[in-house]
Structure 1
Amino acid sequence: MHGREGKKALEEIQGSFGQSYQLLNNYSNELRKVDRFSFTELQRVGNTDCFKCYFWSYGITVRSFRDTCRPHIEIDGTHLRGRSRGCLISAIAVDGDNHVFPVAFGLVSGEDNENYDWFLRCLGDQVVGYETLLVIISYHPSLVVKVPEVFPREKHVFCMNHICKNMSGLTPSLVLMRKIKTVAKTTQEWFFRAVIRDIKKMNSSVYNKLKEISLDKWACHASIVKRYGIAYTNNVECWNNMIKDDKALPVVCLVEAIRENLSAYYFKYKKMVDD
């Protein structure tokens, strides 16, 4: 009985999970009243009221990204918890002081081609534009397919952590995994060649798998645009960890929690800079 009462009390405070989806449109309208440069897009299934996907970004983050951040975006998705089913996709930038800078978000039913295509087009149209930038993505099949389609002029590369995870079945060796990450991050060609020879000697299957991936997609020394030493989507993973408890909330509460997290994060950073 105590569990039921607790659940009922939470629903009175946060609203039910089902109702929360219906409130997204009203939330978007209220957000635009206080931030007229914010952008939201809510899609429903056909002509029904059933939720399909939701994209949002804040005016101040978009302006700051264009004016002060490094020209690269990291993209990855994380599964929601609790009774909310689906995924939260985040696009994360890095400022000149290497601080995590969340730029845009999307709530989707799952990580598939259609949802990533929609999210990436919203991101390009409303946030980052289609100028040349570096897009660092997880090695998720849908991102591998859709990023080149939506951002054909942009340089996109893969997160080495995800590549290593995909190769974990080929080798149990932590030493080899460390070598792969080392060879990915180096900007010196001679060092790359020396380490890649070691990898070939240690495990030819891993070496051949790496050869299947275009070199400029994972090796920093071969990149034709500046990568700033970044080879991983660690910033997205750091952000996902910051909001891990919020992912169990009803969707409107999740969206508001993200706004509050960003406000507190930016205030803390501004205070640190001012001091």
Structure 2
Amino acid sequence: MSVKTMISVLHQKYSFEAHNLQCCRAITIARGETAACYDLSYAKLPKYGHLLRRHNPSTMFKLVPYERHDFTKNPQFKRLFVCLQACKNWFLDRCRPFIGLDECHLKGRYGGVLLSAISVDGNNGIYPVAFGIVEVENKDSWVFFFHCLESTLRLDYLDIGLTFMSDKQKGHADVIAGIVLGAHHRNCCRHLYSNFKASFPGLLLKTQFWIACKEPNEFIYNKAIERIKEVNKEAYDWLVKNNQPSMWCRHAFDKRAKSDHVTNNMTESFNNWNGELRSKPILI
């Protein structure tokens, strides 16, 4: 039962106006997800990582606890990175060199952020490559994630024209350029258009923007860009000066990636799929 449904039932049956937080706590108790359940789940992580590495020798499992100044107390969880052996091998052997990056907030007792790296297979199906759980989303947490990803996939030895796509937040481009040398970076056009629309709304600008980003022909792209310049010079400057064509325009993409995606829909689909699991303990 959802919180909204519970509030409605309590009001209709008992004429009781329940608060959202009260219903959330009731649902948590009914599921048996107490504080001890969450604490025990975090305490099992070292053994879980040991089992993963024993049965999947090439699995990357990196657990980072907080520094302990009092050794009479147990260390606290800080960050986690997981890349299973099967996921790594399948990506290197059978997936396109294209990885989408995204994050979503966890809704459990202790919160946190789930970072994910999602690829696309030969049938355009989403394929999870690796994931990490960090305390907050910032440049430091993304540096940790990329160092682990580069270490397990050995991306510095791969000359496959690897391409990353993100939502242009938290300095992704700088982190990628500094860790994964030679990799290309794309911006999700849906997020890019949200920022563009906030300053330059209008149906005509919207139409020309999507023509410019989706068109594989450079001639038609130039016509769309010139049309934007005619309509609004500031919008043209915002697009051209702040965004390189190779990061958002299909005609300028690196062809070795064999992918013409202009949006990060595969990571959004992954986040939607795990929506009901975000409130669960870290080890279900």
Contact 1:135 1:154 (C-alpha < 8 Å) held by counterparts: yes
Cα–Cα, structure 1 residues 61 and 15, in superposed 2: closer, same or farther, change >3 Å?
farther
Show the 5 A alignment for 1:28-177. Answer: 28-47=49-68, 49-127=75-153, 129-130=155-156, 131=158, 132-177=161-206
One-letter identity of the residue aligned with 1:236: T
Identity %: 26
Mapped to 2, the partners of 1:193 and 1:94 lie a distance apart of 29
Deviations 1:171-218 (Å, cap 9, x if unpaired)? 232442343233112110111011111222233222111112122121
Deviations 1:52-100 (Å, cap 9, x if unpaired)? 1100011111110010000111111111124231210110111111111
SS class of match (1:168): helix
SS class of match (1:245): helix
If the length of structure 1 is used for normalisation, what is the TM-score?
0.84
Deviations 1:2-26 (Å, cap 9, x if unpaired)? 9867534533699622332222212
Runs of 4 or more, structure 1, over 4 Å off, are 1-6, 12-15
- Tell me the C-alpha RMSD between the 2 structures: 2.3
Could you tell me which residue of structure 1 aligns to residue 13 of structure 2? Answer: none
Number of residue pairs the alignment of both structures matches = 253
Higher mean C-alpha displacement, 15-24 vs 56-65: 15-24
Mapped to 2, the partners of 1:134 and 1:127 lie a distance apart of 14
Mapped to 1, the partners of 2:53 and 2:217 lie a distance apart of 48
Higher mean C-alpha displacement, 234-243 vs 176-185: 176-185
SS class of match (1:229): coil
**Partner of residue 22 from structure 1, selected from 43, 50, 62:** 43
Structure 1 residue 182 corresponds to structure 2 residue 197? no
Cα–Cα, structure 1 residues 180 and 6, in superposed 2: closer, same or farther, change >3 Å?
closer
SS class of match (2:96): coil
Cα–Cα, structure 1 residues 235 and 5, in superposed 2: closer, same or farther, change >3 Å?
closer
If the length of structure 2 is used for normalisation, what is the TM-score?
0.81
Deviations 1:201-244 (Å, cap 9, x if unpaired)? 23322211111212212112122434521111111111111111
**Partner of residue 217 from structure 1, selected from 236, 240, 247:** 247
Mapped to 1, the partners of 2:174 and 2:118 lie a distance apart of 20
Could you tell me which residue of structure 1 aligns to residue 222 of structure 2? Answer: 193
Contact 2:186 2:246 (C-alpha < 8 Å) held by counterparts: yes
| Unmatched runs of 5 consecutive residues or more in structure 2 | 1-21, 70-74
